[in-house]
């Protein structure tokens, strides 16, 4: 069974940093691209970015580019999201998603999400 | 960026009725190379993470009941839920994966009367 489990969410002050993790199990992690998506308290979904299978290529949404960094450790089956210079607008639930190449290259599995609150 | 506009924002129906949710993109999602539309639909039940229902506009993900039907091409897409059941209570989102940045619609809340 495919499972994605995020961790690392917390309350962080504006301008601060935070690193989220997503541990994958139930499939060969290194064979799949991975994405991060967030959902704001107002409920809308926002794509943050993605990383390819070996971590050599990333794509980011303009809204977070140069502040967030996506990386992965295939030996640990873990995806990361390094967040820096966070703003109140970054308050959201953060999901990691597996990009399924048999499902049109969209998120076929999602984690349960982790809450990040940016506030002083 | 491609803007995804969903309608309606919410609707309430009785069990057994048919529901139609619309999604319009600001640019065509049809690839001229392979004639595929890069549009997905997700279902998010209360307290849960989103679940993939439909990809490439009309292909149901494995395990998704056949009462969920995706259709449309270019810039206009529809998710039809026939014979709605109580368990279909959820928010529904469309997403384009044609070009970066990937973008989602604002969602449609489905309530069961």
Tens-place pLDDT, residues A33-64: 999 999 997 778 999 999 999 999 999 999 99
Which SS3 state, helix, strand or coil, does residue A13 take? coil
Chain A nearest-CA residue for B47:
A112
- Nearest by CB to residue B55, choosing from A43, A62, A103, is A103
In angstroms, the separation between the Cα of residue B64 and the nearest Cα of chain A is 12
Q: What is the pLDDT of residue A104?
A: 81
Which pLDDT belongs to residue A42? 74
DSSP type of residue B30: B
Q: How many beta carbons lie within 10 A of that of residue B38, not counting itself?
A: 23
pLDDT of res. A101:
84
B30 pLDDT higher than 90 = yes
Q: How far is CA A45 from CA A23, A70, A101, B55, B65, in A?
A: 21, 18, 21, 17, 24
pLDDT under 50 in chain A at which residues? none
Residue B60 C-alpha from the chain's centroid: 11
Q: Report the distance separating Cα B84 and Cα B68, nearest Å.
A: 9
Report whether pLDDT(B109) > 80. Answer: yes
Residue B28 reports pLDDT greater than 80? yes
Cα distance between residue A95 and residue A88, in whole Å: 18
- Per-residue pLDDT, A114: 98
**Which tens digit of pLDDT belongs to each residue from B40-88?**
999 999 999 999 999 999 999 999 999 999 999 999 999 999 999 999 9
| Cβ(B41)–Cβ(B79) below 8 Å | yes
Rounded CA-CA distance A35/A74 in Å is 15
CB contact under 8 Å between B91 and A47, yes or no, is no
Answer for the pair A45, A64: CB distance below 8 angstroms, yes or no. Answer: no
Are A43 and B107 in contact (CB < 8 Å)? yes
B10-21 tens-digit pLDDT: 999 999 999 999
Partner residue opposite A61 with nearest CB, options B52, B101, B107: B101
Max alpha carbon distance in chain A (Å)? 44
Q: How far apart are CA A11 and CA B106, in angstroms?
A: 26
Rounded CA-CA distance B39/B56 in Å is 5
Question: What single-letter DSSP state applies at residue B77?
Answer: E
Contact B20, B78 (CB under 8 A): yes
């Amino acid at each position: 069974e495919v499972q994605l489990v995020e961790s690392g969410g917390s309350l962080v002050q504006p301008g601060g940093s935070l690193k989220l993790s997503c541990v994958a199990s139930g499939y060969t992690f290194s064979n799949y691209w991975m994405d991060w998506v967030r959902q704001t308290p107002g409920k809308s979904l926002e794509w943050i970015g993605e990383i390819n299978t070996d971590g050599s290529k990333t794509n980011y949404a303009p809204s977070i580019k140069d502040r967030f960094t996506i990386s992965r450790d295939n030996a640990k089956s873990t995806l990361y999201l390094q967040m820096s210079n966070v703003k109140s607008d970054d308050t959201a639930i953060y999901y990691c998603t597996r990009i399924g190449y048999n499902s049109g290259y969209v998120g076929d599995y999602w984690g349960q999400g982790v809450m990040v609150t940016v506030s002083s | 960026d491609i803007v995804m506009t969903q309608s309606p924002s919410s609707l309430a129906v009785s069990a057994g009725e048919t529901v139609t949710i619309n999604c319009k993109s600001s640019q065509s999602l049809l690839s001229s190379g392979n004639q595929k539309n890069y549009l997905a639909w997700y279902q998010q039940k209360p307290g849960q993470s989103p679940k993939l229902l439909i990809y490439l506009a009309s292909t149901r993900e494995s395990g998704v009941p056949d009462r969920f039907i995706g259709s449309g091409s270019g810039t206009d897409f529809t998710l039809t839920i026939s014979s709605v059941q109580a368990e279909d209570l959820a928010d529904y989102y469309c997403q384009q994966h044609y070009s970066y940045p990937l973008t989602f619609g604002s969602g449609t809340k489905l309530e069961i009367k």
